[in-house]
Structure formats: C-alpha cells, structure tokens
Amino acid sequence: MLLKDKVTLITGGAAGIGKATAQRFAEEGATVIICDVNSEAGEAAAGELGVAFYQIDISDLQAVEKWIDDVVAEYGRIDVLVNNAGVLRDGQLVKWKNGEVVSRMSEEAFDLVISVNLKGVFNCTQAVAPVMIKQGGGVILNATSVVGLDGNFGQTNYVATKAGVIGMTKVWARELGRYNIRVNAVAPGFTATEMVVQMPEKILDGMKSRTPLGRLGEPRDIANAYLFLASDQASFITGEILRVDGGIVVGT
C-alpha cells in the first residue's frame, strides 16, 4: 500500500495511461480523483475503477481552479497531482511537393495542442501548488514523452509541448522544493494505448522494431513509473525526467 490514503488527482484519467495510473494508484491505497473532458468515458472509467470523476477542460483556468477548490472542500487535501491529459494534432510544419507548399500545420492544430498539453499542465500545477504548500508538501508528476527529448517528424506542436513540460518540471522542482513538494516527469515511448493499438499492423511492427526490448510499452508500465515517483520510495528524487521507453531513441 505505497499510497495509502493519499488524495491523488489524475488528469485525462478516462482512458489509456491515465486510466491505468488511476487503477494502479487505487490498488496501492490512494484516494483517486480523475478528470477528463469526455464525460461518458470518464464516468465509465470511474464506475469501473471505483474512483471519483469530474468533467474538466484543463485548458480553462477558471474550471481548473473550481475543480481544485471542490476537491479540497470534499477531501481536505491533495497529496499527488498527475498531469497526464494530452491531445495530438499531427502535421508537418510545411509539406512541399512539385515546387510549392501543398499543406501546413494549421494555427488551430498548433493552438489546441499548446492549450491542453502545455497550458493545461501549467493551470493544474499553479492551482494545486498553494494547497500543497499550505499542507506541508506533495508530489507533482508530469507527462512528457521521448519525443520531447529527441524530437519527431510531423509533431512540431506536440514536441513543443512535451519539451516545454520538461522545462517546467525542472523550474518547479527548484521553486517548490523548499516547500517539500517534489516535481518529476515521465517520458513514455511507444505505448499500447487504445489509440495506438488501432493503428495498422505495419506501423505497430515498425514501432516494435525500433524499440530495443522488441515490444510496445503497456499503460501499466507507465503507471508503475508514476507509482514509484509518487511514493516515499522516491523521496529524494525531484526535477528528473524518467524515460519508460524500452530503450528507444526516436530517429529521423
């Protein structure tokens, strides 16, 4: 029971890595509250796992602040925040063919990914930090990605957010350490979430062939990394980026 009675918030907890993390934390005794923009999936996950659910758009600061206030009013404290929620809108910066630009990443696609993956992490952390300071400590865990470290073709917006999360993690570890708040990030590689496993077999085989361990990660693999970093077993670890990627280095 590594997280016995720890009040834990997990954003994007309706599916994939977020749902697996909610399940793993609950198994270890945490009081888990998930949020997601998808109310149907969120309610289904909450019912399945026996956790609480709030429908929240994390890019909306006022909605986030109200969520945090409601959680504190209901549970009295927040011990762990897992900033897991994120979106993808892939596309090349510019696509060039026959001497001209035939497509480009849209402003809407860029702004959406920034608003959720980067601003959303900022919103949730800024709202939770005062709660943790007042209570004498806490743990903040951020979802980045190996592409935030290595880059990836066709993902200007996504890579920008994941690299930004790495930077914010290091800043917050310095700013909040004096209040006994640890801040770390996890950088998954190719992981078999619901979205990924629906990809064509050829693409999945390519992901596996580029991973030295020869398989995709399971959501529970990532959840176990979050569990370790959230627990007292990692009490002297802060400002770190833990790769959970089967040894992959994303190339061109």
Q: What is the pLDDT of residues 12-65, one digit of tens each?
A: 999 999 999 999 999 999 999 999 999 999 999 999 999 999 999 999 999 999
pLDDT of residue 95: 96
Residue 194 has pLDDT above 90, yes or no: no
| Percent of the chain surpassing pLDDT 70 | 99
- The answer to whether residue 35 sits within a structural domain is yes
- The answer to whether residue 128 sits within a structural domain is yes
- The answer to whether residue 179 sits within a structural domain is yes
Residue 153 has pLDDT above 60, yes or no: yes
pLDDT of residue 252: 55
Residue 157 domain boundaries: 7-241
- The answer to whether residue 107 sits within a structural domain is yes
> Would residue 226 show up in a list of annotated catalytic residues for this protein?
no
> Rounded to whole angstroms, how far apart are CA atoms 141 and 177?
14
pLDDT of residue 249: 76
pLDDT of residue 226: 98
Catalytic residue, chosen from 54, 75, 158, 226, is: 158
Cβ-Cβ contacts under 8 Å for 218 (sequence gap 6 or more): 20, 191, 192
pLDDT of residue 198: 82
- Cα three-residue angle 192-149-132, rounded to 5 degrees: 85
pLDDT of residue 206: 86
Average pLDDT of the chain? 96
> Rounded to whole angstroms, how far apart are CA atoms 137 and 141?
14
Q: How many Cβ atoms sit within 10 Å of the Cβ of residue 95?
A: 13
The CATH number covering residue 198 comes to: 3.40.50.720
Structural domain count, the chain: 1
- The answer to whether residue 220 sits within a structural domain is yes
Q: Name the pTM for this structure.
A: 0.95
- The answer to whether residue 247 sits within a structural domain is no
> Rounded to whole angstroms, how far apart are CA atoms 229 and 79?
13
Which tokens go with 9? 């918030």
pLDDT in tens, 203-252: 889 889 889 999 999 999 999 999 999 999 999 999 999 999 999 877 65
- The answer to whether residue 250 sits within a structural domain is no
Mean per-residue pLDDT for 141-146? 96
- The answer to whether residue 156 sits within a structural domain is yes
